[in-house]
Structure 1
Amino acid sequence: MICPHYDAFRCRSCTLIEQDYDQQVADKQRRCQELLGPGVAWLDPVLSTPNAFRNKAKLVVGGTTAAPTLGILDPEGAGVDLRDCQLYPPELQAAFDPLARFITRAGLEPYDVPARRGELKNVLVTQSPDRELMVRFVLRSTEALARIRKHLPSLQAELPGLAVATVNVLPEHKAVLEGDREIVLTASDTLRMRLNGLDLHLRPQSFFQTNTAVAAELYRIGREWADRADPRTVWDLYCGVGGFALHVAAPGRQVTGIEWSTEAIASAEQTAAESGLPGLRFAAGDATEFAVTADAPPDLVIVNPPRRGVGPRLAAWLEESGVRDVLYSSCNAVSLARDLESMPSLRPVRARLLDMFPQTGHYEVAVMLRRA
């Protein structure tokens, strides 16, 4: 992939862009194989399109109210406009110019990081498989809230697929994407993410995989591997909006999803209610605390932790619990390998790399563990 921003050193986020795509995938798989060791049946990797795969744009706002930039900041804090970034599909890119015009119309002053002055910090845009949009304006305060409400109909006219619009308030000067307070401006507060015949619901502060097509394949793999294990009881720890739990639900099977985010749990419960799938329960809480305080383990545990892995306490519980099967979906094979060292009785028997993030060294790897 040829990128003028990369060549001009304006953006170097795509660290593998100079490599052939097939070589990128081969190197990722080889690294995962080295970390997991021998005795694992590796299935063919799940490939992505090399570009136009991202369903979410995290756009830092720079420039001025009259001429905003949407993209990233350079080392001096000046805005670098990346509206034509090739990682975004054309339908998502098409929203960026209307958003820039809206910033000007609503009089939103971009936040100046070096000077610590201004209001609008980030614009977060998510596209559903049905090409509907969620747009979140991350602001320093609610000073511009009335103007945003006033001009929102004009943005909706330019973006007829705009399903959810919110203001997120981030008053602190710190390197984070969003704050805790969310103000919903539209009638709907969820974006429908249709995957594999299920309508998952994404609320503003809920996590969803960045690559929709590869995420759909990940959940299909989870369903297939769970059915092969044939468990009566399943826990989906770090369940997010319920992707794995909803996919493995089946008659005669009890599935429990645990996630810290109450927003994500509300989304999972909404999908469960709409789908009529049997045997599903979701609860907000800490995955490790839920496991270590439970009366008895399930037949199958699904874990999809953040990059740090499940950590020593949950890994120790999995080792000692007697649970028969574990489906571990990891975005970091280094922490995965470290967790596996803490649970030697659970051996990886099957694995599959999913190239969720082309042009970078990141990936997802699904591994089925069985008690030796």
Structure 2
Amino acid sequence: MTSMADFNTHEQEARPICPHSEFCGGCIYQGVAYEDQLADKEKQVYGFLEAKSVVPAKVDAIEGCTVRYGYRNKMEYTFGDFVKDGETTLGMHRKKNFMSIITVDECQLVDEDFNVILDAVLNFVKANEYPFYHKRTHKGLMRNLIIRKGMRTEELLINIVTTSEEGFDEEAFTEMLLALNLRNKIVGILRTFNDNIADAVNCERLKTLWGRDYYMEKILNLDFKVSAFSFFQTNVEAAERLYSEALAMVDSFEGKSVFDLYCGTGTISQILALKARSVIGIELVSEAVDAARENAALNGLSNCSFIAGDVFEVLKGVSEKPDVIVVDPPRVGIQPKSLDKIIEYGVSEIIYISCNPKTMADNLKYMKYYGYECVYLKPFDNFPLTKHIESIALLRKK
């Protein structure tokens, strides 16, 4: 467990308040001592549980991060302007004003290379007078910049998102990026074409301008190939600690069949496959399942399989019965019909991994009614300075 002494190391001493904090809504705890951030998040978790009359048999104090800055391995920036008809900006949506974009070239949550790349790309766009995409008129060229990093491999994947309007100089853009003095290594430069009017990154066509269309990462000695739009844990070091502690809550997986529900790209499934007899991962997003299968093959794991589809619908057609179930649902939590199906198996232990304490409390209350007691719960702060809170819980059938 991370001790308070770890929060006082020189490398992670509190920094001056971010210069973007007045307008950027990414961090809500700027200027707040880390001990106070942890206390507030812990209070939120146990407040939600208390409101639902869920009383874990054992609780642990929230575990914080030893790395509180530069921990994000992905950022998705938007082109726009800060004031109407002003100069082009590149960064995050302004809080309480979604149409306004603030340039965040001194962000504290990312590796400094992200800030260098953002600044270089913005200057390139301005120098070439490329218009940004206007949400109201649906005209313009520049839409987004996505940067991803392998924290263990130090590989960078850069993806520029544009409309299909003509005029973008791909060769000059590539040369500009490759000439940057960076600490990490660029392994791929991509261009995504998106003419969809929705204010979101939609990949209608992906073009590799240089290198490859993925980067490599390692988690708990397993290799992962992460493509341009694959979901992957945002804070790798924190995810390792959380997964290790979550799986350690069960005494042994040896000889057991495990269901990993809402498995994403199968990170937990593959860690489990090193311990269990067999693992079945179920995930709604088909692209994530494709990535999970590819990475399982990359790691030589033959005892885990993945199924794409809605958890409830897939479970109706799976004949195998699990010994243990692991759930890692999205922020909306697990819907009642899926909970009913999970409960129906009657397994002795369920590991619940949460990214939203409110919906976790709702789900644990529901499962308590059907005989599942929360015997252990622990919150994690995997995203310092932000509002997000993770938790792990062990549920045991009475």
User: TM-score, length-normalised on structure 1?
Assistant: 0.89
Q: Distance in 1 between matches of 2:252 and 2:42?
A: 24
Q: Distance in 1 between matches of 2:301 and 2:322?
A: 19
Q: Cα 1:103–1:324, aligned 2, differ >3 Å: closer, same or farther?
A: farther
Q: Which amino acid aligns with 1:5?
A: H
Pick from 164, 175, 182: which aligns with 2:188?
164
Q: Cα 1:207–1:76, aligned 2, differ >3 Å: closer, same or farther?
A: closer
1:87-236 pair list within 5 angstroms: 87-104=109-126, 108-129=130-151, 130-139=153-162, 141-144=163-166, 147-148=169-170, 151-158=173-180, 161-176=185-200, 178-185=201-208, 186-226=210-250, 228=252, 230=254, 232-236=256-260
Percent identical residues: 27
- 1:4 maps to what in 2? 19
Q: Distance in 2 between matches of 1:146 and 1:71?
A: 20
**Is the CA contact 1:309–1:336 (under 8 Å) kept in the aligned structure 2?**
yes
Q: CA deviation at 1:165?
A: 2.9
Q: Does 2:63 align with 1:46? A: yes
Compare 288-297 and 128-137 and name the one that shifted more. Answer: 288-297
Q: SS of the residue aligned with 2:169? A: helix
Q: SS of the residue aligned with 1:4? A: coil
Q: Distance in 2 between matches of 1:115 and 1:38?
A: 53
**Is the CA contact 1:170–1:179 (under 8 Å) kept in the aligned structure 2?**
yes
Q: Cα 1:144–1:153, aligned 2, differ >3 Å: closer, same or farther?
A: farther
Q: Distance in 2 between matches of 1:61 and 1:263?
A: 26
RMSD of equivalent CA atoms: 2.6
Pick from 44, 53, 71: which aligns with 2:91?
71
Q: Distance in 1 between matches of 2:276 and 2:262?
A: 23
Q: SS of the residue aligned with 1:255? A: strand
Q: Distance in 2 between matches of 1:126 and 1:227?
A: 36
Q: SS of the residue aligned with 1:94? A: helix
Q: Between Structure 1 and Structure 2, how many residues are aligned?
A: 367
- 2:266 maps to what in 1? 242
Q: Cα 1:153–1:282, aligned 2, differ >3 Å: closer, same or farther?
A: farther
User: TM-score, length-normalised on structure 2?
Assistant: 0.83
Q: Does 2:387 align with 1:361? A: yes
**Is the CA contact 1:316–1:342 (under 8 Å) kept in the aligned structure 2?**
no
Q: Cα 1:336–1:128, aligned 2, differ >3 Å: closer, same or farther?
A: same
> Per-residue displacement from partner, 1:185-223 (whole Å, max 9, x unpaired)?
145222212122111221222212222211121222244
Q: SS of the residue aligned with 1:40? A: coil
Pick from 286, 311, 334: which aligns with 1:310?
334
**Is the CA contact 2:156–2:186 (under 8 Å) kept in the aligned structure 1?**
yes
1:271-310 pair list within 5 angstroms: 271-310=295-334
Q: CA deviation at 1:46?
A: 2.7
Q: Does 2:366 align with 1:349? A: no
Q: Distance in 2 between matches of 1:219 and 1:231?
A: 20
Q: SS of the residue aligned with 2:46? A: helix
**Is the CA contact 1:92–1:127 (under 8 Å) kept in the aligned structure 2?**
no
- 2:363 maps to what in 1? 339
- 1:56 maps to what in 2? 74
Q: Distance in 2 between matches of 1:126 and 1:342?
A: 38
Q: Cα 1:232–1:76, aligned 2, differ >3 Å: closer, same or farther?
A: closer
Q: CA deviation at 1:263?
A: 2.4
Q: CA deviation at 1:244?
A: 0.4
Q: CA deviation at 1:13?
A: 3.1
**Is the CA contact 1:61–1:69 (under 8 Å) kept in the aligned structure 2?**
yes
Compare 146-155 and 323-332 and name the one that shifted more. Answer: 146-155
**Is the CA contact 1:168–1:182 (under 8 Å) kept in the aligned structure 2?**
yes
**Is the CA contact 1:260–1:286 (under 8 Å) kept in the aligned structure 2?**
yes
Compare 37-46 and 192-201 and name the one that shifted more. Answer: 37-46
- 1:83 maps to what in 2? 105
Q: SS of the residue aligned with 1:5? A: coil
Provide structure 1 residue ranges, at least 5 long, that are not aligned to the other structure.
none
Q: Distance in 2 between matches of 1:361 and 1:78?
A: 21
Q: CA deviation at 1:355?
A: 0.8
Provide structure 2 residue ranges, at least 5 long, that are not aligned to the other structure.
1-14
Compare 265-274 and 30-39 and name the one that shifted more. Answer: 30-39
> Per-residue displacement from partner, 1:107-154 (whole Å, max 9, x unpaired)?
642123344331211111111112211222222x32348632564244
Q: Cα 1:53–1:76, aligned 2, differ >3 Å: closer, same or farther?
A: closer
